[in-house]
A and B are shown apart, each in its own frame.
Chain A
């Protein structure tokens, strides 16, 4: 990416962030569902769930953070769809700016807004009794993994936003992504699940990501799963980026 393209991306990022600044309710709405899950699972189900952890909020938080991102990217698809429908992309294509900067601006906006949502959710978890034995490096690793995960899902959101026929269609794609953590080790250990469900749960992308985050936040050693988690995130991000770019070229050519 050239200096010129970076400058254009920064300008368009400013535009998108101003949109979010004018409607901060989107960030609040994004955080409401994961916070509701936190409250529900910790206070209502937590006492009855045997997850093998001393404090269920510590066990639960990593999965809820992934749900936060999954619900947040629906807005990325929504904003992208509105831009596409509003004809702003056609106006951009007539300007001497890099095509990639338009998409990257949306992706980085998603990164910023999801980071804010994640901070809100972690804040609520702290109020609910979440405590971490992680050091500074471990927290940086958590932040890094969440950034890569957000990028991966955001590129999927870009594909959905560019391909959708309706506003509802643009954001509805996130429902399966929100549901995926339920079929993982996010809420209960996978060994308590029946064999077919366990087979799926142990081999889907959310489980290694959740387990890695849980180990990092708990200050316990991370095994091979960190590489599996990163491979999933980077793989999805790379494929998503390529597919999104080709759809974008087709849509605005």
Chain B
């Protein structure tokens, strides 16, 4: 009896007691969940097919069907291909990132997050794993877009540094929409709802300077298209990819990205603890 009481009220561990497993560190658990998320996404044939088919279809339709009818540059197909390239990369990334909302929502609604409460590692690593996984997937999709563009005849005078800067800007936007979609996945009641809420983000590239010059749009639409976040990002990426003059677009685009990231990370920091309260 005394032994039991002593055991129950013991505060310090016995000499041979290691005090329990120390748990996984943040980086190793992020790595673990990134691999889990990547494995899931590559097993999902539909999302893999979408990631490859969407840029291919968009590129082929806009280049070969609409290309010579668009009043861009000299009105040639090659000019329009260079014009539309950043928009297709960002549109593809948008669709790829929307998958994050679905998987995060599934993790919350199927009780996976609840199971993790009992395990000795930071719960936020699940979310960060999905984010890193989305970045990897969408950078792969972006490289598919760029390779396809070169295969279709895109050529550039841009330096390697400018191309890296363009990919960096695109990567920053991928991070933005991934963070936003992860947040939507957390707050929505189902995967379908998460996808629905994010539809507006997927529509943004179309109502920007991505597929047609802002000046060619009606005046009431120009106001929105000229001042929404994607226009400076697309214009800066286009200038960097084609070796043109970047101007102020790059820092306006960067500010938009930083603003979105800060806002979505802050909102996630508020919402996430409530979802996985221990």
A7 lies within 8 A of chain B by Cβ: no
Contact in complex: A49, B206 (CB < 8 Å) = no
Q: Mark A138-156, 1 if CB is under 8 A from B, else 0.
A: 0000000000000000000
A47–B215 CA distance with the chains assembled, in angstroms: 8
Q: Mark B119-141, 1 if CB is under 8 A from A, else 0.
A: 00000000000000000000000
Contact in complex: A45, B65 (CB < 8 Å) = no
Interface size in chain B (residues, C-beta < 8 A): 24
Contact in complex: B221, A43 (CB < 8 Å) = yes
Q: Mark A160-188, 1 if CB is under 8 A from B, else 0.
A: 00000000000000000001001100011
Which A residues lie within 8 Å of B67 (CB)?
192
Contact in complex: A189, B212 (CB < 8 Å) = no
What residue of chain A has the Cβ atom nearest to residue B66's Cβ? A188
A7–B88 CA distance with the chains assembled, in angstroms: 53
A50 lies within 8 A of chain B by Cβ: yes
Contact in complex: A45, B61 (CB < 8 Å) = no
Contact in complex: B206, A40 (CB < 8 Å) = yes
A187–B64 CA distance with the chains assembled, in angstroms: 12
A48 lies within 8 A of chain B by Cβ: yes
A238 lies within 8 A of chain B by Cβ: no
* A67 vs chain B, min Cβ distance (A): 14
Contact in complex: A192, B217 (CB < 8 Å) = no
Chain A residues 165-222 with CB under 8 Å of chain B are: 179, 182-183, 187-189, 192-194, 197
Interface size in chain A (residues, C-beta < 8 A): 20
B31 lies within 8 A of chain A by Cβ: no
Contact in complex: A182, B64 (CB < 8 Å) = no
A120 lies within 8 A of chain B by Cβ: no
Which A residues lie within 8 Å of B77 (CB)?
194
Overall SS of chain B's interface: helix
Given contacts A48-B72, A50-B71, contact A43 B217 (CB under 8 A): yes
A51 lies within 8 A of chain B by Cβ: yes
Which B residues lie within 8 Å of A126 (CB)?
none
Which A residues lie within 8 Å of B216 (CB)?
46-48
What residue of chain A has the Cβ atom nearest to residue B208's Cβ? A44
A237–B114 CA distance with the chains assembled, in angstroms: 54
B68 lies within 8 A of chain A by Cβ: yes
What residue of chain A has the Cβ atom nearest to residue B68's Cβ? A192
Contact in complex: A194, B69 (CB < 8 Å) = no
Given contacts A40-B206, A44-B207, A182-B61, contact A193 B212 (CB under 8 A): no
- Known pairs A44-B217, A48-B71, A48-B212 / 19 extra A-B pairs, C-beta < 8 Å: A43-B218, A44-B212, A45-B66, A45-B211, A45-B212, A46-B216, A47-B215, A48-B213, A49-B69, A49-B70, A49-B212, A50-B70, A50-B75, A182-B61, A187-B66, A189-B69, A192-B69, A193-B64, A193-B65
User: What are 9 A-B pairs with beta-carbon distances under 8 A?
Assistant: A47-B212, A48-B213, A49-B66, A49-B70, A50-B71, A187-B66, A188-B65, A193-B68, A197-B64
Interface residues of A (CB under 8 A from B): 40, 43-51, 179, 182-183, 187-189, 192-194, 197
